[in-house]
Amino acid sequence: MSGRLPEEFRGRTKRFAAGAIRLFVGMPKGREELRVIGRQLLRSATSVAAHVREASRARSHEEFASKLGGALQEADESQLWLELLREECGVDPDSTEPLEKEASELIAILTTMINRTKAGR
């Protein structure tokens, strides 16, 4: 199954996770809502990369689609946390919008990959 996931895409999801880590590390300390939502973002963004990595080692089309589905859910959740950080917590849009854009693109790519995998069975 690993031939189905280009190394470039695996790297892209890892860079997305790293961007979320950098955003969290750079946030002001002492605000509980930033800490809580920031940790949620860390969990979901790093899970995108983890699920994609797991998908690259899938033993079947079903497992591949399932792991990509997990990555899709986590990317969507990451997008929510980024929106909340910007809209409700006052985090600078210049900090969140590149990650929001990347989350949207990852969602679109993952959706296409899942649909193609399911159609190809």
Cβ atoms 51, 71 nearer than 8 A: yes
d(CA 82, CA 96) in angstroms, rounded, equals 6
Residue by residue, DSSP assigns 96-120 as: HHHHHHHHHHHHHHHHHHHHHHHHT
Res 2 pLDDT > 50: no
- Range of lowest pLDDT (2-11, 86-95, 100-109): 2-11
Domain boundaries, the chain: 2-119
Work out the number of other CB atoms within 10 angstroms of the CB of residue 118.
14
Domain 2-119 class in CATH: mainly alpha
Query: pTM for the whole thing?
Result: 0.93
**With pLDDT > 70 as the criterion, what percentage of the chain qualifies?**
97
